[in-house]
Amino acid sequence: MNQKTQSCQQKLRISRDALEVIQGKWRMPIVLALTFGNKRFGELQRDIVDISPKMLSQELKALEENKIITRTLYDSMPVTVEYSLTPLGKSMKKLLDEVLIWGEHFRKEVIGK
Amino acid sequence: MNQKTQSCQQKLRISRDALEVIQGKWRMPIVLALTFGNKRFGELQRDIVDISPKMLSQELKALEENKIITRTLYDSMPVTVEYSLTPLGKSMKKLLDEVLIWGEHFRKEVIGK
DNA sequence: GTAACTACTTACCTGCGGGTAACTACTAAC
DNA sequence: GTTAGTAGTTACCCGCAGGTAAGTAGTTAC
């Protein structure tokens, strides 16, 4: 096994670790939505059009466990909950930007203009 | 709906279109492997350690349909097939780089060093 | 007391993403 | 004729990601 193959396999391992955390239909969209500012549960549900409360709740929990977002409960009346990005979550901004850039590129090339 | 919300929703739409194409356990790893140079079926199978021939074949087909990779058949003996990135596939390099950068970042922060 | 808003939770179900194992087809080497 | 290497295909199966619908719980407004 030469140097090149090693670095290929190493990168493949890293990519698979990362993908395990950010994969799925909703996680990147949720983080993306939060790059526009802290949001409450209902706001996220309105922004991310097709998501069900169950999926939103479930994915928010997973993102919190992976230290990507923070859940803050306010004892206002009625109770409100605010979700925000941690530094680790904010560090996904560049990655998300590239997803968007590539997404635009893809749309032009394949979906056709 | 204000300007900010509109741009948020627009970006969410783009991200979801892009994710539809690159999502899944194997697609980004396959493209990543091909950024190291054109590879044959067997080479990919050896590099991407846990992938089964069925999944590799299936995902290669999907990537080809989305104009991300090209399949070239050589009439050598025995027949060999080479997979390579299209310009659209190559344009994923930055995105993949960011996945790797974030992956390292994540590993340090959460998995712990 | 009932509707409406907050933020979920719970139960149930379905489809498909992904895994395993075996099989195919062709050629070369021995 | 049997093994090995090329590149897959096919059949079968399973678990979970994700969807639907309804319920919960607390407060405010009417």
Q: Tens of pLDDT along B34-82?
A: 999 999 999 999 999 999 999 999 999 999 999 999 999 987 777 889 9
For residues B93 and A4, which has the higher predicted lDDT (pLDDT)?
A: B93
Residue B43 corresponds to which amino acid? E
Cα→Cα distances B93→A44, A45, A93, B29, B107, Å: 30, 32, 17, 12, 21
CB-proximal positions of chain D, under 7 Å: 5-11, 17-23, 26-28
Q: What's the confidence (pLDDT) of residue B4?
A: 64
List pLDDT tens digits, range A29-59: 999 999 999 999 999 999 999 999 999 999 9
Under the banding of pLDDT at 50, 70 and 90, the label for residue B26 is very high
Provide, in whole angstroms, the distance separating residue A104's CA from nucleotide C25's C1'.
42
Percent with pLDDT over 70 in chain A: 91
Q: What's the confidence (pLDDT) of residue A41?
A: 95
Q: Tell me if A105 sits within 8 A of B88, measured CB to CB.
A: yes
List CB contacts (< 8 A) between B21 and chain A.
106
Torsion of CA B44, B45, B46, B48, to 10 degrees: 80
Under the banding of pLDDT at 50, 70 and 90, the label for residue A3 is low
Mean pLDDT for chain B? 92
Q: What is the mean pLDDT of residues B7-30?
A: 96
Q: What's the confidence (pLDDT) of residue A10?
A: 94
Q: What's the confidence (pLDDT) of residue A42?
A: 94
B15, B44, B68: which to substitute to probe chain A, counting the most A Cβ within 10 Å? B15
Q: Where are the domains of chain A?
A: 25-112
B6, B9, B11: which to substitute to probe chain A, counting the most A Cβ within 10 Å? B11
Under the banding of pLDDT at 50, 70 and 90, the label for residue A1 is very low
Under the banding of pLDDT at 50, 70 and 90, the label for residue B84 is very high
Provide, in whole angstroms, the distance separating residue A36's CA from nucleotide C11's C1'.
34
Q: What's the confidence (pLDDT) of residue A50?
A: 93
Instruction: Identify which of A40, A33, A55, A52 has the alpha carbon closest to the alpha carbon of residue B15.
Output: A33
**Domain A25-112 of CATH type 1.10.10.10:** yes
Vertex A36 angle, CA A20 and A99, to 5°: 45
Cα→Cα distances A88→A83, A92, B104, Å: 14, 7, 11
Under the banding of pLDDT at 50, 70 and 90, the label for residue A97 is very high
**Dihedral angle sign, alpha carbons of residues B38, B63, A33, B110:** negative
Q: What is the mean pLDDT of residues A61-85?
A: 91
Percent with pLDDT over 90 in chain A: 84
Q: How far is CA B13 from the centre of its chain?
A: 20
Contact between the CB of B80 and strand D at under 7 Å:
yes
- Across the interface, whether the CB atoms of B14 and A100 are under 8 A apart is answered yes
